Structure 1
Amino acid sequence: VLAAVVVVVVVVDVVVVVVVVAVVVAVVVVAVVEYSGSSSSSRVVVVVVVVVVVVVVVVVVVVVVLVAVVVVAVVVAKCCIVVVVEVVVVVEVEVVVVVVVVVVVVVVLAVVVVLVIIVLVEVVVVVVVVVVVVVVVVVVVVVVVVIIVVYADRTLYVIKF
């Protein structure tokens, strides 16, 4: 039961983050294209504002997911009379996921901002850069998820035996 809960938690986190990042990237691209006729400084301001808003949204979403998962873990523990330590493990894994996710999202958005500012005039280049960044993010998230699942599995093994 616990392993299943951990896997569901990780999958939900990844899906939420990927969706949010995709929306953010789309918004950034639209903002850049929309303001391509404006001065460079105003376009930079637009991109920076969009990215800041997105970072805040991502953090809020991830925290909400974390709270939901903790509540679910507690409910599962009460219903199934699971050992409290196992709930703690689920929460620990979730906290690790949250920290990694927030760090990755912030780093990626920072990179996107820098690249957008550097190649602001070339919208086509911006789109290519954004696509590359999204691919990199997905790969990083998958690797992180695999590492966390392995870590969680070993932790559960140690606790149960």
Structure 2
Amino acid sequence: MMMMMVVVVVLVVVVVLVVVVVLVVVLVLVVVVVLVLVVVVVVVVLVMMMVLMMMMVLMMVVLVVVLVVVVVLVVVVVVLVLVLVLVVVVVVVLVVVVVFVVVVVFVVVVVLVVV
């Protein structure tokens, strides 16, 4: 009878130990899986942030290039308009000078002919 009790107690202790070891192993596995999932999520979020930052940098570069092109075009157009205005002013001044010279020559000729 005593031997049976010792065997039962040993069996119960072994079963409890096995259950505790299995529970600890399952708990450790769950913690490892959760940690791996957290690391994967963090890495995915970081990669997405990097991709978004790269896209934003790319968009900023494209925006800067477009702005530079627009500014260069505006400067070229302004310079062309200024050159055109300068040419028109020079032509008008030349026409005025030529007309003045023609009028003066005409007046001088008329005065000489009359006198």
Q: TM-score, normalised by structure 2?
A: 0.37
Structure whose residues are more often helix by fraction: 2
Higher Rg of the two aligned structures = 2
Q: TM-score, normalised by structure 1?
A: 0.27
Higher RCO (CA-CA < 8 Å; seq separation 6+): 1
